[in-house]
Amino acid sequence: MIAAFGRRYIFSASHRLDAPALDADQNRAAYGKCNNAHGHGHNYFLQVMVAGPVNEETGMVVDMAALDETVRRLVLDRFDQANLNFDPLFADCVPTTENLCREIFSLLQNALPAGVLDQLRVEETENNFFECLREVD
């Protein structure tokens, strides 16, 4: 049996959605208020699902403190209170929730203390979220 452990984190970041491939009118049409030149902020909820067997000795899929440390070091320290547009990861890609979720998935994918990254969810607003799922062989 494979089990999955979930943990939620929160960080606050700002961004402006403005794709270099689009002109000003197209950017306004595509992103609406999110294209505002001054940017805006979100409180992002990040949900990390780690899949794997339950360790017989510890009774856990992954050590929660070790997972917290990994997420803090690779994600929260990087993005909390940051302007996402200034992060090198978004130098050539628009910091939408979709791209943010994909980048966080890449950052964590091979860095977990145990198990595999099964699912990652980033909630940008109450009504707006995105998920990346592990590719199954």
Contacts with Ni ion by CB under 5 A lie at: 34
Taking a C-beta distance cutoff of 8 angstroms, is the pair 39, 14 a contact?
yes
> What values do phi and psi take at 14, rounded to 5?
-115, 160
CA distance 115 to 66: 12
In the 8-state DSSP scheme, what is residue 115? S
Compute how many other C-beta atoms are within 10 angstroms of the C-beta atom of residue 120: 24
CA distance 65 to 114: 12
Specify the pairing of strand 82-83 against strand 40-52. unpaired
